[in-house]
Amino acid sequence: MTKTEFMATQQSFFTEEHKVISDAYSESAEIVFALGDSIEILSQCPNGFASLIITSPPYNIGKEYESQTRLDHYLEQLHPILKELVRVLSPQGSLCWQVGNYVDKSEVFPLDIYFYPLFKKLGLQLRNRIIWTFEHGLHCSVRFSGRYETLLWFTKTDEYTFNLDAVRVPSKYPGKTNFRPGPKYGLPSGNPLGKNPSDVWKLIVKEWELGLWNIPNVKANHPEKTIHPCQFPIELVERCVLSLTSEGDWVLDPFSGVGSALLAAVRHNRRAIGCERESKYIDEAKRRMNMLFSGELPYRPIGKPVYQPTEREKMSQIPQQWLTIEGGR
Ligand SMILES: C[S@@+](CC[C@H](N)C(=O)[O-])C[C@H]1O[C@@H](n2cnc3c(N)ncnc32)[C@H](O)[C@@H]1O
């Protein structure tokens, strides 16, 4: 048997990057694209192997990959998966659960409110409820347009990995000095590596100046857009990978879609496993991973400012017709 045939029977192979890619968890694997239901795949994974679980579950809003059901049924269906996630999470590990709203007959049900008690009952502790805001989306006529989703960051114990220095952002006033009398009087009061980025990851233009994280959601004109209707921006996951894991750790996405979480993990030398039951999304995830290896992945790098039209461009000017309307703006 040739090496290639052998690797095929093992359902793993080496890429040009010498990563061991597989379709099932094993200790020697480095990237796993697991096709199937998460509950089956997780049952094959050992206790405590994952340092970071980061995901955006189906929201039960009738996307092409889900069948909409009553909210209580939806939560019941997911509960066995939540239990498995807590089992496979390492004692130093983190679980980041990114959700938006479930909407029924125009009534809004923020999903994080429903998931919080479930994870709390399973023993996890909440460290942050991160607000991820973006400028674009549907325009509502019966309520204010929604422009944020949340990311619940839980840990399993008090002994968790947190590398704040890896994700600091520049201070707004780096020249600020200590003003209280004492040995530090007159010395810079901030941290030379920058300040804590806070729990609001906000879409603004000059993030470096204002020290807020700037992560646009993945819509049609975003360079990372694929066939998936609800993709993560890679950048959002990178923040969590860098702050909550170390090199070589396992990052797990139990609803991995087109593999954005896996790409973020691999970019930073972490091992990555994704579970996804639609083969077309797994194929797309593999294609993107190959593009990452060949340097061709369309990707919005951390910190790249969002395009902001100048005042001279037509799209940023008030239409002439509106100038005559009272209150037009
Ligand atoms: C919100 S999307 C996640 C998208 C992903 N974050 C990305 O960047 O592509 C949820 C995904 O979970 C998948 N899915 C839903 N239920 C699943 C299950 N029980 N097991 C595995 N995958 C599932 C869906 O097919 C869908 O692609």
Distance CA 317, CA 319 (A): 6
Distance CA 48, CA 58 (A): 24
How many CB atoms within 10 Å of residue 233?
21
Instruction: For residue 27, name the pLDDT band (cuts at 50, 70, 90).
Output: very high
Instruction: For residue 60, name the pLDDT band (cuts at 50, 70, 90).
Output: confident
Q: What is the pTM of this model?
A: 0.84
pLDDT in tens, 145-204: 998 999 999 999 999 999 999 999 888 888 888 889 999 888 888 888 889 999 998 643
Ligand 1: residue of 64, 255, 256 to mutate (most ligand atoms within 8 A of CB) is 255
Distance CA 153, CA 25 (A): 24
Average pLDDT over residues 3-8: 40
Does ligand 1 come within 6 angstroms of the Cβ of 100? Answer: no
Evaluate whether 243 touches 163 at the Cβ level (below 8 Å): yes
Q: How is the chain split into domains, by residue range?
A: 13-324
Evaluate whether 95 touches 89 at the Cβ level (below 8 Å): yes
Does ligand 1 come within 6 angstroms of the Cβ of 260? Answer: yes
Does ligand 1 come within 6 angstroms of the Cβ of 275? Answer: yes
Assigned token pair, 30: 């480095």
C-alpha 58 to ligand 1 mean position (Å): 6
* Segment holding 35, helix H or strand E: strand 31-35
pLDDT in tens, 289-325: 999 999 888 776 655 555 555 566 665 566 676 677 6
Instruction: For residue 42, name the pLDDT band (cuts at 50, 70, 90).
Output: very high
C-alpha 221 to ligand 1 mean position (Å): 22
Nearest to 235 by CA among 134, 162, 129: 134
Q: Tell me which fold the domain 13-324 belongs to.
A: Rossmann fold (3.40.50)
* Segment holding 153, helix H or strand E: strand 148-155
* C-alpha 110 chain-centroid distance: 18
Distance CA 56, CA 280 (A): 18
Average pLDDT over residues 71-82: 95
Residues with Cβ within 8 Å of residue 287, at least 6 apart in sequence = none
C-alpha 10 to ligand 1 mean position (Å): 26
C-alpha 284 to ligand 1 mean position (Å): 13
Given phi > 0 = left and psi -120 to 50 = alpha, else beta, which region is 259? left
Q: What was the pLDDT predicted at 186?
A: 87
Of all protein residues, whose CA lies closest to atom 3 belonging to ligand 1?
A: 257
DSSP state of 11: T
